[in-house]
Every structure is written in C-alpha cells, then in structure tokens.
Amino acid sequence: MLIQYGQALNAYLYDVFVAKFDFWLAFGLVAQLLFTARFLVQWISSERAGQSVVPMAFWFFSMGGGFMTLIYGLAKREPVIIIGQGLATLIYVRNIMLIVKNRGKASKTLER
C-alpha cells in the first residue's frame, strides 16, 4: 500500500513539475522565490538589529514577487491568485509610498 502511494505521489509530482514545465511555470517559480526572499531579508535584518524590524527591501521583494505572481495568475487565469495578489500588491505599493513620504521623520522601517 505504501509503495502504491509513493508511486502515485511520484507520478503526480512528475506531471506537475516535469511534464507540464513551460515558461509560465518557470516564471511562477521565480516569482514565488522572490516573494519568499522577503522573509529571509526580514529575518537577517532583525537578527542584525537584535529586534524585529521590517527593512525597505522587504517591501520591494513583496511588491516584486507579488506583482510577478499576479502576472502569473492573470496568464493562468487563476481567480484566487488574481484577487489575492492584486489586493496585496496594492498594499505593498502603498506601504512603500508611505515610507518614502515619511523618510525624513521617525520611520519604523530599517533603512538597509
């Protein structure tokens, strides 16, 4: 029974990641990696500061990865991705606008 499940999982993963590999799958994977990089940036910055901080790079990675994921969702006609990333990308852009607007003031964002 476990062998059958393993074979079924293997066939599924092969179908999803190998047989259907195309430009849009590669684009979507790069988008997800870019989006995930924001957490690494935030973690490293927080470790260096000794407290939880949100660096400006976090918002740029969020915006870039979110926008690329939105493009992927539009190309693949995925309504869940379109709605989720469409709204989230607007929030990322707005956060960047607020940070830039308040740059001279005491901002809560680390400038690294």
pLDDT at 108 (0 to 100): 58
Query: Is-contact 55 96, C-beta < 8 A?
Result: no
When pLDDT is averaged across residues 30-59 and rounded to a whole number, the result is 94
pTM of the model: 0.77
Structure tokens at 109: 């964002």
Structure tokens at 12: 């599924």
State how far the Cα of 53 lies from the Cα of 44, in Å rounded to an integer: 10
Structure tokens at 105: 């003031």
pLDDT digits (tens, 9 = 90+) for 21-44: 999 999 999 999 999 999 999 999
